[in-house]
Amino acid sequence: MNGYFFSFEGPEGAGKTTMIGKLESFLRGRGFDVMVTREPGGVRIAEAIRALILNREYTEMDGRTEALLYAAARRQHLLEKIVPALEAGRVVLCDRFVDSSLAYQGFARGLGVEEVWKINEFAIDGYMPSLTVYFDIDPHIGLERIRQNREREVNRLDLESLSFHDKVREGYRELAKRFTDRIVVIDASRPLDDVFSETAAAVLSRLEGRSKRDFHESGRDDSHWT
């Protein structure tokens, strides 16, 4: 596997999409072959699952159903898009990956991180990002940012209570403590340029400083929760 797999995580409105867009131009300018994608989504079947999960009308959706749908979307996305890009030596920038399921469904929804990890372990079959950038932000600030962004549609998860969003953040922080080698934490409440320079530095150091062997092994090392 010649490519590099980076995921970007955080509560609503943390700035993931904005930072990925800036990073894409930055890395392309340095000659990297970059592919940007997102979860849930990225390929036809996963985008259809996204529309189903995030539909505001489906208020009756059970938590386990939700977790299984995210994992199913992830499986299809990984096989159809991420793995081929990595095999082609590309740099993959993925807006959310398995940590979203651990933080949202495992912690905030209360399904349990181990349980959610188990179904995802089946879905991802050992593929993990070599680096995950976690944009840490108080959900009050993040939700206010998205409220002010009129182009962004409000989805079913956005409508969860503030205490749910607080738990999402708590979950991410626990994951960051658990996976210190893989997850880098960035304070996303600061001005855009500051957040970007720290993000670019973290990604570049991983791209320039790690061999293919390190990349492969870091994925395997992380592939268990307990």
Ligand X SMILES: Nc1ncnc2c1ncn2[C@@H]1O[C@H](COP(=O)(O)OP(=O)(O)OP(=O)(O)O)[C@@H](O)[C@H]1O
Ligand Y SMILES: Cc1cn([C@H]2C[C@H](O)[C@@H](COP(=O)(O)O)O2)c(=O)[nH]c1=O
Applying CB under 6 A, the residues found at the interface with ligand Y are 12, 38-40, 70, 96, 100-101, 104-105, 155, 157
Q: Is the dihedral of CA 206, 42, 72, 90 positive or negative?
A: negative
Altogether, the residues listed in the chain come to a count of 226
Q: Report if residue 41 touches ligand X, rule: CB under 6 A.
A: no
Site string for ligand X, 142-161 (x = CB under 6 A): ---xx--x------------
Burial class (CB in 10 A: 0-12, 13-18, 19+), 162: exposed
Q: What's the number of CA atoms in the CB half-sphere (13 Å) around residue 190?
A: 13
Which residue's CB is nearer to ligand X, number 3 or number 11? 11
Q: Report if residue 18 touches ligand X, rule: CB under 6 A.
A: yes
3-class DSSP state of 186? strand
The neighbour count for residue 7, using CB atoms within 10 Å, is: 25
3 among the known binding-site residues?
Answer: no
Which residue's CB is nearer to ligand Y, number 155 or number 189? 155
13 among the known binding-site residues?
Answer: yes
DSSP state of 103: I
Q: Could you say which of 3, 6, 16, 71 contacts ligand X (CB under 6 A)?
A: 16
Q: What's the number of CA atoms in the CB half-sphere (13 Å) around residue 122?
A: 11
**Residue 45 C-beta: closest distance to ligand Y, Å:** 15
Which residue's CB is nearer to ligand X, number 14 or number 218? 14
Which residue's CB is nearer to ligand X, number 115 or number 158? 158
Please work out, in degrees rounded to the nearest 5, the angle formed at the alpha carbon of residue 120 by the alpha carbons of 118 and 121.
65
17 among the known binding-site residues?
Answer: yes
**Residue 25 C-beta: closest distance to ligand X, Å:** 14
Binding interface with ligand X (CB under 6 A): 10, 12-18, 145-146, 149, 188, 191-192, 195
Which residues fall in the annotated binding site for ATP? 10-17
